[in-house]
Structure 1
């Protein structure tokens, strides 16, 4: 069937239903698990948890998120050079499912870390390739592409919204391991439909690698992989011999890697002979936007760490005669995205060429991100750290930060494609994922500073510093716009 003639799914290609449904269940499993992961780690053993101290649990949650986004680099390579998109997504889903199964088993910390490893690998293989496969359903001239991606995003947010409500309730009210089991079942459902539907409705080009690894390239690749493994093993070995091999130092090592990788990418882009003078100027313009994105994601991703802790320990969860599971607050992120998206889509269409430039949108986004933390100073300042506050404060904080997300996230994706050098388009797109990876790696260190005793200043300093950086970005925006060389 010709791509343009397939209108079987609400006017869209039938394969979009397959991919959106797969993404729905993958996000259901991921956000369902993440909604209760922090509580599972630090709740006492008598309450079904692992009994970790709170600072360590928050740090592990953050570094886990960082690893998920770092691993997206592997997914692009595996699909392009080894297996093709279809097989890569399927293998990723298998890893994710078994990761949740490990968490569903009462085997303590070893099961936790094995699960994290499996889900990190699986998500890295699956997530970047779903979007690529959606693009493959349309011809270059097909005007349905943007609306198709909008439907995919709706599937993502629907899965992200429902998961904390169901998995969160089951995990916190009944048993953590049952909650993780439900996440595993969700991924299994998604995989089933992906396999059954995929063979019929997906683009046949996705069943083979577009640029398969050649025989003469295998040796060099193996050498690089082995060398990387040896280096990491040597570092861990030195830690072990010196008595420094522990969870804290492993997290510190991953934080360092998450910061070094994007720096290495920027050096490659700026020094490559494949990059023209104009493209190099645009890469320089992208650097301050990348830094702004890191700052934004650092605040946004603390919703599943610092605000999740605040929800459990300092929020009055008895509301209108009902006890709210703290994990339910994780549904606020996708809820506000769904509520706000139509307005922002209308706003940018209405403003047309009069809309702010990408750097100015980033600046405004940073202001809202900072305000979402500054507003949390109010309940702490008014009621102290020993009183339970209204859950509406958390709702307000999320309502503000999601304005920031819609000013930065979709704009960032768009500007990344516009500023990418022709020779490095795919790798430049991976930079957007690396911004989130670097942000959560930084969070793994920052969240250790959060305690009820100092949270007033924690919210104030993090929020205030973000607003200050927005002011700096505003001052350098004219220079950034000049470097963008005609790109808005």
Structure 2
């Protein structure tokens, strides 16, 4: 974006004092998250519910592992979406194409097509989310000129869209899916995504100007030819490998889940290596990447806890929780709304807290440490019902409420800080792709989750929650004591980092 374009857009004050383009991106994010979290609220139940009830009849361990692997691939694909935008299409076209693919994915689920429709839907939504998610966030940053003090607050307003969409989705999609028909719920998710895409197309030209129309680091003609050959050869190799594995009986759900886990761990490692070795990365930027690595690992540990809200805690809500509390039956999918509603409530509290503390507030690494500690405690508290009453008695819904509350307290310390730190520590040549790398922390976590969730059952409940939560708490304590060493590598952003922490770490959510 040129200087004149930047000045023109950043001088407009028509959406809560921010550029009009923020309203376009806010709406797009709201409806995309409505569709995704609405689908996620009922997908696990759809996979393991009995066929006569409209489900697919998969076993619970298989369904939970597949759900985690699916989530991992959704976020893993963001690295491809960032590269496509940076080098081929630009963020605007990538967002449009991503939205179309997501709609196709939800439509596939809305048609009773069994497991075939499920996997077709997954492919569409994985590719679509990878194209849309990192590029919407990047486009928000492009609305503001360098040094514009409204930038962090703009991100905060933008991410309120995530919370609103994620809060509403379970009540609409979840209720339709569980009380009427699963496929009707998935159709509602498709409608939500379509609404967001229509507004994006209608308002984009007027509100976004030339933002994102061109790739930031476009391929040359020679590079295009090379990439075309590499993609063609790679695709052919993958198809041949899939055919061989399928024909020999090695291509199973278990092997797919294992492969996703391996790729989810190796991909971010590979990407860090690429950025370190790139000639476009300066010495100063390499130092910042050193600081970013432990923060990235901490984020993975946090998401290992947080992302189980859609798997283990969703199963706990349906099978271990008394849903007839207060004389009213609570659909288990409604618990998925606790995450965003607590974010909306806690965000202003933390904003005031950071501002009151001023320069006495914790550094970014120590905020990450607090995030881990609260996340770990959110799992430790889930051991109490089984220890007190056993696993044969349904527990009060307040245990789940408390667990969700504690993990969101942790999210307020880690998620917005991580997003802000990513934009500041990213090498200039890898701006959008580093945002994708941040999303890969979630992909890595869900790859790990896919391996551990089959271990959860009534007989292992206390150990499962206790060991997982305890490990994360210990890691948080360790991070707290090494935080000062990490902070030294964040060269050149100390003052900026502190200022943004004071002014803007709200109301971004851990609902990425």
TM-score range with shorter-chain normalisation? over 0.9
- Report the CA distance shift for 1:274/1:9 in structure 2 as closer, same or farther (over 3 A): closer
* Structure 1 residue 25 displacement after superposition: 0.9
Who is 1:324 aligned against? 330
Who is 1:160 aligned against? 166
- For residue 469 of structure 1, the aligned residue among 470, 475, 492 is 475
Cα distance in 1 for residues equivalent to 2:220 and 2:277: 27
Who is 2:418 aligned against? 412
**1:133/1:203 contact within 8 Å kept:** no
**1:136/1:203 contact within 8 Å kept:** no
Who is 1:398 aligned against? 404
Q: TM-score, normalised by structure 2?
A: 0.91
Aligned: 1:436 with 2:439: no
CA deviations 1:209-243 (Å, max 9, x no partner) are 34443322222101221233244335434433542
Farther-moved stretch of structure 1 (188-197 vs 312-321): 188-197
Cα distance in 2 for residues equivalent to 1:313 and 1:454: 15
Who is 1:6 aligned against? 12
- For residue 213 of structure 1, the aligned residue among 219, 240, 247 is 219
**2:10/2:18 contact within 8 Å kept:** no
Farther-moved stretch of structure 1 (170-179 vs 357-366): 357-366
Aligned residues: 488
Farther-moved stretch of structure 1 (458-467 vs 74-83): 74-83
CA deviations 1:409-465 (Å, max 9, x no partner) are 111122223333344444333221111110001101111111122111100000011
Structural RMSD (CA): 1.9
CA deviations 1:94-122 (Å, max 9, x no partner) are 10011000000000000000001101111
CA deviations 1:384-404 (Å, max 9, x no partner) are 111111111000000000011
Cα distance in 2 for residues equivalent to 1:210 and 1:482: 30
Superposed, which structure 2 residues align to 1:191-230 within 5 Å? 191-230=197-236
Cα distance in 2 for residues equivalent to 1:137 and 1:428: 18
Cα distance in 2 for residues equivalent to 1:25 and 1:463: 33
- Report the CA distance shift for 1:54/1:334 in structure 2 as closer, same or farther (over 3 A): same
* Structure 1 residue 64 displacement after superposition: 1.0
- For residue 364 of structure 1, the aligned residue among 366, 370, 390 is 370
Farther-moved stretch of structure 1 (125-134 vs 163-172): 125-134
Who is 1:267 aligned against? 273
CA deviations 1:151-207 (Å, max 9, x no partner) are 211111101100011111110011100000100111111111111122222222333
Who is 1:65 aligned against? 71
Cα distance in 2 for residues equivalent to 1:110 and 1:277: 49
Who is 2:505 aligned against? none
Q: Which runs of 5+ in 2 are unaligned?
A: 495-512
Who is 1:283 aligned against? 289
Who is 2:196 aligned against? 190
Q: TM-score, normalised by structure 1?
A: 0.95
Who is 1:53 aligned against? 59
Superposed, which structure 2 residues align to 1:39-188 within 5 Å? 39-188=45-194
* Secondary structure at the counterpart of residue 205 of structure 1: coil
Superposed, which structure 2 residues align to 1:442-457 within 5 Å? 442-457=448-463
